[in-house]
Structure 1
Amino acid sequence: MTAGQDWQATNRALWDERVGIHLGPGGYDLAPLRAGRGRLDAIVEAELGPVAGLRVLHLQCHFGADTLTLAQRGAQAVGLDFSRAAIAAARALAAELGLGDRARFVEADLTQAAAALAEPAGFDLVFVTWGALCWLPDLAGWARIVAGALRPGGRLYLAEGHPTAYVFDDQASSRMPGRPGWLVPYFQREAVIYEAAGDYADPGAAPAHRTETVWMHPLAEVVGALRGAGLALDWLHEHPRVTWRMFGSLVRDAEGLWAWPDRPWLPLAYSLGGGEAVTSELQRQICP
């Protein structure tokens, strides 16, 4: 289905509303962060490595919980998001935690990141995790933004829901009781306009804004976009677990991730590490 002209405004309204839901009693658990012991999910914890002393750009940071966790660990972190409500909440949380000197938050559409950051490319790490890419119609443009933000030798860390799993959804009819049904073809290029049943963090919430306009991005498209922007792929991992209850049949494991109850039928997530950034001359051409 073709995305309407107001798809971006509709998505922004949805995410503005989710800020209040995710800061509420049924949303994110911020107790460890407030106690000075913020934790990332088990997949990222196992792969990311130390960040102390690094300049980190967190794209699509929502209200900044992970950005502030990185700052607690000694990073100089910048979080960027298009939701005014999310950035306001992130700034308030940074002030509450005394991290205003190590975490800065920028309100801007991703496509305007270079201008909004108002600083030369020079990040050691670009950090993008969980449910970020499906909101973007242009992955090649996203990859150029990543490459343009990195210093030579900088790296990208990406962790995402697996596009194979995005083919399915609990709201779609299934011939197998207890299993998700077919939602969208893996290779579909057109936008997917979807009415969400609730909220991924707080299933008991009843948001007023439920219309999502998203895009399917096969794994080869992600890798191709990064290579096209001049980034070398160092590694790629696929995971039978994910950070949210993508399907009702998933069960939570000892590390707080959601997995299939019997066998790992499909990958639920993937992660990758990007290598050396493009040369400085090419950076200026890509992201002046």
Structure 2
Amino acid sequence: MSRVAYVNGTYRPHSQAVVHIEDRGFQFADGVYEVWSVFDGKLADYAGHMERLGRSLTELRIEIPMTAQALGVVLRETIRRNKVRDGIVYLQITRGTAPRDHAFPKGVAPSVIVTAKSIDLHKGEKNAEKGVAGITHPDIRWGRCDIKTVGLLPNALAKQAAREKGAYEAILFDEMGMVTEGSSTNAWIVDENGKLRTRDTQANILRGITRAAIMKLVKEEGIELDERPFSVEEAKKAKELFVTAASSFVMPIVSLDGEKIGDGKPGPIATRLRSVYVEQAIRDAI
């Protein structure tokens, strides 16, 4: 099936879906994005992603191009035209097209691009059942990782380093050896004392929507949570290590830099949270 993309007001085949060479997303990575999981054609964590989108646009002073209601229509129509039942829908909004100049242009309409694709969720389940490998990698990203921008080159370099070592994810660490997050995920541990920990969002990390949903579930499940940084050394000595994201849900990491985490199998907390999260996300998708 030929895939279809939405670009600035029209739906086009991928082969015809283009933006101008002077679009500031291409020239300066001057734009933001969001990714929703799709279950049975419906959007998971819809409101959370929309709220973060608004915050990212506001932080970059990019004009909101349409109402949330209109944008929802575009997202769902793109899903429908691509016949996606289970998968993801990707939205990118840039400052727009203007002659190349570092300063913000005036009177320019933002560019809006939406794509959707199917994903085999069973493949993710198989990974989660056995766990995946991770590596550590220096965090060289800019100082505003709380904004979900399209400037992802450091993330891509980290992910590529993981792939070249046969790993699923790169766990990033700062100059003090403290874990920040994954290259495309938020990172969590169950430490040696059995306490669930993840870094607080006051630090230079993304305010993950799946992370926020998991935090609510943690409270409902009666699991004690400590929003406190942990080091690479603590991660390697942890009982459990896992990452969360819209496309991977809750993914247990059973080895880090070749060193076994816990007993080398997905732990009970990660396994439980994944099960409960997926069940809730499917139920609440709209």
* TM-score after normalising by structure 1: 0.22
Q: Which has the larger radius of gyration?
A: 2
Structure with greater proportional strand content: 2
